[in-house]
Amino acid sequence: MGRVLVWLIAAIPIFALSHLPATAAPKHAIAMQGEPALPADYGHFDYVNPDAPKGGSVTYCVVGTFDNLNPFILKSLRTTARGMMDTIFGNLVFEPLMQRNADEAFSLYGLLAESADMDPERKSIEFHLNPKARWSDGEPVTPEDVLFSYDVFTEKGRPPYSDRMARVAKLEKTGDHSVRFTFNDKADREFPLIIAMTPIVPKHAFDKETFDKTTLKPLIGSGPYTIEQVQPGQRIVFKRNPDYWGKDIPAKRGFDNYDRISIEYFLNANAKLEAFKKGVCAFDDDSDPVKRERDLDFPAFHRGEVIAESFDIGVPPVVTGFLFNTRLKKFANPVVRRALGMLYDFEWANKNLFGGKYTRTMSFWQGSELSALGHPADEKEKALLAPYPGRVPADVMDGTWRPPVTDGSGQDRKVLKAAYSLLSSAGYHVQNGVMLDPDGNPFGFEILTASQDEERLAGIFQRTLEKIGINVAIRSLDGDQIQSRKQRFDFEVLVGSSGFNNSLSPGIEQSGRWSSAAAKAEGSFNLAGVADPAVDAAIEAMLQARSKDDYVAAVRVLDRLLISGGYMVPMQHNAQQWLAYWSYLDHPRKTPIFGYQLPTWWRKAS
């Protein structure tokens, strides 16, 4: 063995050796901050049941439709079949190089790549593919597949995959099972982890020329399931691959326990609820505590055949609310947006719709050390904001800002008066009961909604705004219509969210949600059209932070800027996750900080 090693080293030119980036020893896991929590010899994540029984089936239900199976292209992005690559139901078909641990802020463990070498400056990372990794057709996962994935994503893929090579100086095969990424000056300290989380596609199973075309042909991936049945717009069925290569690796033990997963599509939430009551759907996750209490009044629940359970979570809540399209002139002034934000009557909604069980959402990282609430800006934050004077009001800077609190009557005139005063300062006035903008034109807008629940919340906002002469129309669209409008940024106001999830380790996804570049990219998640150099600078400082203090300061600055910009009117949240499910299902006892993980559930033996 020693002679072979000497020969291999001798075969590498001295010049090449001298120019290889410095790397540490291969590691089983990498972390954004500090070290991964689990040792190299860990057996499984601690929020799974490693001995969960395998077998049976489960049916997930969603509202909407689908007309595409390729999750990596822009066309039909928002109508791609669920489950192909899914943060909720699991990455059933496609997998990344490394797997995220849902009980750490941001740590990744070996999956397609069994280990990684990352140099201390994070200027390069080398992944060592697991020699056992296979595509579902039995072909091995190779370095050429990694190179092809980045090539085809760059030319034919959608954001953010299409943008990743812009930060890579060199991507090269370094061995039979190894690839190295060397980064350029555009990359940040999080970027090696983003590369590790990027799914890989098989070179032999895709045609580069037609990659950006929608398809309903079952695709080949490396994941635990294959596509068994496709009924466009109605149903997709996944069958567990008995030869799945990764079923015994630590990062996948306790996952993927069903033999078959079906995802059924419904036109609206009411139809989905009725299907759940009939036993078609395994789960119901309604966020409205009053509505779900009423909806659970059916025989199967009273017989104990349906279980309702709450799960504690340890990450900031997803921010949902009324989102303004600031690309439009009417929403260009942040003073106007702040005034409108004062007029959502949370106290009335919480008392009359939610049984007083909700908390007002005020910060994009509420309840964590990353939040601006209750934390006066320190010197690091002030230095970051110094080039952008006046962006953040004094009460947001000192951490005392809170949205107005009404008396819950729905008629609180003091809040209406304060909002009107702010609008007046921006040149607005009421004439004959109609709010006029500085040019003398009636001021109003349309809110798009995708469900009855959203329509009801929009109605609350509408009633308050009409009291000061602002005309608001509400338009309800079905799922595919509203997704198409979102993708084209074709709306005035919609009921949206700041992202699919939130975390204690915000990173590059914030650029996709709030950066100037994303504001111009069709299909991006910067629906509000935020294009502010101060926000861009805060995101960059967050991504380049080398110490925890610098990182926290940068995220708090971003929070202060988003609050001050009034891009959304945040509504409310529940600090717990709620789920109703049929009693034939079971789940691990521990809930990780990111909440329940459906891919770790199983069906009880009959």
pLDDT one-digit tens code per residue, 446-461: 999 988 889 999 999 9
225-315+576-603 belongs to which CATH class? alpha beta
What confidence score (pLDDT) does residue 499 get?
Answer: 59
Res 12 pLDDT > 70: no
- CA geometry: angle 292, 83, 193, nearest 5 deg: 105
Count of residues in the chain: 606
Place of tokens 């509000």: 528
Res 66 pLDDT > 90: yes
Contact yes or no for 78/570 (Cβ under 8 A): no
Q: Which helix (H) or strand (E) holds 541?
A: helix 533-544
The radius of gyration of the chain's CA atoms, rounded to the nearest angstrom, is 25
For residues 289 and 295, what is the distance between their CA atoms, to the nearest angstrom? 10
- Of 599 and 574, the structure prediction assigns the larger pLDDT to 599
Res 497 pLDDT > 80: no
Cα–Cα distance list, 198 to 80, 246, 502 (Å): 18, 17, 18
Res 14 pLDDT > 80: no
CATH of domain 23-57+84-210: 3.40.190.10
Cα atoms in the Cβ-side hemisphere of radius 13 Å centred on 10: 6
Section 526-550 average pLDDT: 94
For residues 368 and 336, what is the distance between their CA atoms, to the nearest angstrom? 29
- Of 15 and 600, the structure prediction assigns the larger pLDDT to 600
Report which DSSP code applies to 442: B
Cα atoms in the Cβ-side hemisphere of radius 13 Å centred on 148: 16
Domain 320-573 has CATH 3.10.105.10: yes
What's the mean pLDDT when you consider all of the chain? 92
Res 1 pLDDT > 80: no
- CA geometry: angle 313, 315, 319, nearest 5 deg: 105
Residue 586, classified by CB atoms within 10 Å of its CB into exposed (0-12), middle (13-18) or buried (19+), is: middle
Dump pLDDT digits (tens) for 87-111: 999 999 999 999 999 999 999 999 9
Section 440-444 average pLDDT: 97
Dump pLDDT digits (tens) for 257-281: 999 999 999 998 899 999 999 999 9
Residue type, position 158, single letter: R
Q: Which of 91-100, 462-471, 496-505, 546-555 has the lowest mean pLDDT?
A: 496-505
- Confidence label for 508 from pLDDT (cuts 50, 70 and 90): confident
φ, ψ (nearest 5 deg) of residue 430: -100, 135
SS3 at position 269: helix
What confidence score (pLDDT) does residue 490 get?
Answer: 95
Topology alike, domains 23-57+84-210 and 225-315+576-603: yes
Scored b (16 or more CB within 10 A) or e, 382-419 reads eebbeebeebbeeebbebebebbebebebebeebbeeb
Res 5 pLDDT > 70: no
**Boundaries of every domain in the chain:** 23-57+84-210, 225-315+576-603, 320-573
SS3 at position 262: strand
Residue type, position 167, single letter: R
What confidence score (pLDDT) does residue 24 get?
Answer: 54
The sheet with strand 57-63 has its strands ordered as 57-63, 260-266, 235-240, 225-231
The sheet with strand 178-183 has its strands ordered as 113-118, 124-129, 178-183, 168-175
For residues 129 and 311, what is the distance between their CA atoms, to the nearest angstrom? 36
Contact yes or no for 307/581 (Cβ under 8 A): yes
For residues 328 and 317, what is the distance between their CA atoms, to the nearest angstrom? 28
- Of 48 and 314, the structure prediction assigns the larger pLDDT to 48
pTM over 0.85: no
For residues 381 and 392, what is the distance between their CA atoms, to the nearest angstrom? 11
Pairing, β 471-476 against β 444-449: parallel
- Confidence label for 498 from pLDDT (cuts 50, 70 and 90): low
